[in-house]
Amino acid sequence: MKSLRGCCLPLALSLAWFPNVLYGQELGNEQLESLVPLQEVAEAAEGAIAEVTDKPAAEPETDAAVEAAVVKLNVTSRAPDLFRPWTKAAPSKSSGSGVVIAGPRILTNAHVVMHASEVLVQLRQGGDQLRGKVTAIAPGIDLAIVELLDASGLDGITPLLLAAELPMPKSHISVYGYPTGGDDLSVTAGTVSRIEFTGYNFGTWGTRVQVDAALNPGNSGGPAIQDGKIVGLVFSKIQEADNIGYLIPPEEIESFLKDASDGEYDGNPQMFDSYQTAENEALRAFLDMPKEMTGIAIAEPYKDGDDYPLKRWDVITHVGPHAIDNQGYVEVREGLRLKFQYYVPKLANNGKIELTVVRDGKSQVVHAPVAPDRELLIPTLKDRYPEYFIYGPIVFEPVTQEYVRGLGGQGVSMLMALDSPILKRLYEAPEEPGEELVVVATRLFPHPITKGYDNRPLGVIKSVNGVEIKNLRQLGELLRDSKDEFLRFEMADRNESLVFRRSEIGEATEQILTDEGIRFQASQQLRDIWED
């Protein structure tokens, strides 16, 4: 695959938290740029999804009304400490922008308020900073909602409306926000240069608007305005290019707000099959595609099995009623072609999408399954904190994509040397429901019962006393219920086995928790194992 120039480093959050993982992409298409979240780090800064009842918003009448609706967010956050999962990383301070919408609520980027322990809202007209809380967050599409603890703080501010349609290329916009370089509101002129359907974060796909505008750290979460309405929310830029930034368009914002309105955000339904274009003459002849036929070929179905409706070498000719061309694009409006997946979340119904496919020369309609996330044995944490439990000197943790990325090059080299299943199965689906890879997350805590062991982390637990380990909860229950004199931990890689006397490792647990200043033996989701 081809890679675009302009590889980026994040300004505020590691790409481990916002990876552009491409799933279901057309084979041979270029990879997406790594994008910079525009959140300002301030080392010495100045300063669960809830059900929402919307109030209708009136249309702002003046530029002053628009300016009043744009706020600054000063955020204190505590990211996970993946290698000390019983605690969190040190607090960090950063700032971003937000915009008041109907509710009244404040719309911003997920990366601005990710893992926030405190959100302070500064209004343009000044006054004390107002305390807010995150009530909805979608890390994949990079959107979040903040509400004030005292909603009256937004009295007198007219919420802004979302534009009804995508902006037109070459049209002019004004970008509002609080970027680095000053304290007051900044307004920057720009031009819409491109609209595409592409990858966001954590395998999520959506519509994205490219603009030519001077965007800087702190602009994240600020609105792009056209005719007094929001035509996009700033969320990223290309590091090595001047004045190229990206907006989340109104249709993605509307979808997020509608999804989160029931108190739980599910995510946009997507397809995860792999495709290839049907332009090559020999390929078309092999697929028995006449000249007038257009579509895109299935290179690899997402799942095997007779009951899965898509097969290798199927040619998808239509998504719903929309014809797909030989490059996998559909016409959205005159002059605008987007990848056919654009229509998947719009047309999906009850977890399925209607497709017209040609198989063995015959056209037929199938209903393919769709879902917000790809099934992965090694999932992403997104905005969650890792699960863990501690038993004696061992810290157990399910492997996540963030954990692997956090290892860096040296850690990955160690996994290769260990012939670890972590690398072999990094993007595989679980073989059975609930399957996890459980890893020894850190070096063993110092204690006399560890004498003679190599004390290397990263070992994947294969079995305990011959019982195969399926996930962290099962491991905890097995250790709790064991009556054996010895506990034998076998690894699924080249790490050495660990054997402890059950009585000694049980006694060591409380001592180690006390010595290390660890409050809880297990993460909240697993504490019931030891409390029963």
Q: What is the pLDDT along the chain (532 residues), one digit of tens a residue?
A: 333 333 333 333 333 333 332 223 333 333 333 355 655 433 333 333 333 334 445 555 568 999 999 999 999 999 999 999 999 999 999 999 999 999 999 999 999 999 999 999 999 877 899 999 999 999 999 999 999 999 999 999 999 999 999 999 999 999 999 998 888 999 999 999 999 999 999 999 999 999 999 888 899 999 999 999 999 999 988 776 778 999 999 999 999 999 999 989 999 999 999 999 999 999 999 999 999 999 999 999 999 999 999 999 999 999 999 999 999 999 999 999 999 999 999 999 999 999 999 999 999 999 999 999 999 999 999 999 999 999 999 999 999 999 999 999 999 999 999 999 999 999 999 999 999 999 999 999 999 999 999 878 999 999 999 999 999 999 999 999 999 999 999 999 999 999 999 999 999 999 999 999 999 999 999 999 977 5
Same domain flag for 121 and 223: yes
Same domain flag for 225 and 200: yes
The rounded distance, in Å, linking the Cα atoms of 493 and 416 is 10
Same domain flag for 245 and 284: no
Q: How far is CA 51 from CA 232, 259, 260, 355, 438, in A?
A: 24, 11, 8, 34, 35
Q: Decide which of 230, 260, 290 is a domain's last residue.
A: 260
Catalytic residue among 34, 95, 111, 318: 111
Catalytic residue among 34, 92, 94, 220: 220
What residue numbers bound the domain in which 236 lies? 26-260
Same domain flag for 326 and 212: no
What's the one-letter identity of residue 89?
A
CB 13 within 8 A of CB 111: yes
β-pairing verdict for 26-27 and 274-277: parallel
β-pairing verdict for 223-226 and 172-177: antiparallel
Q: Could you tell me if residue 443 is inside a domain?
A: yes
Catalytic residue among 34, 94, 142, 314: 142
pTM across the whole model: 0.86
Same domain flag for 183 and 98: yes
Same domain flag for 254 and 280: no
Please classify residue 305 by burial: count the beta carbons closer than 10 Å to its beta carbon, then call 0-12 exposed, 13-18 middle and 19+ buried: exposed
Q: In the 3-class helix/strand/coil scheme, how is 324-336 assigned residue by residue?
A: CCCCCEEEEECCE
Same domain flag for 410 and 510: yes
Domain with residue 188: its CATH number is 2.40.10.120
Same domain flag for 310 and 240: no
SS3 of residue 98 by DSSP: strand
First CA to last CA distance, the chain: 52
Please classify residue 45 by burial: count the beta carbons closer than 10 Å to its beta carbon, then call 0-12 exposed, 13-18 middle and 19+ buried: middle
Q: Could you tell me if residue 21 is inside a domain?
A: no
Q: Is 220 a catalytic residue?
A: yes
Q: Work out how many domains the chain is built from and give that number.
A: 3
Q: What is the radius of gyration, based on Cα positions, of the chain?
A: 26
Q: Could you tell me if residue 152 is inside a domain?
A: yes
Residue that has been written with the tokens 């647990």 in this structure: 509
Q: Could you tell me if residue 15 is inside a domain?
A: no
Which residues have C-beta within 8 Å of that of residue 59, sequence separation ≥ 6?
161, 228, 229
Residue 454, pLDDT score: 87
Q: Is 92 a catalytic residue?
A: no
- The whole-angstrom distance between residue 227's C-alpha and the CA centroid of its chain comes to 32
The rounded distance, in Å, linking the Cα atoms of 519 and 532 is 18
Same domain flag for 174 and 208: yes
- How many C-beta neighbours within 10 Å does residue 432 have? 7
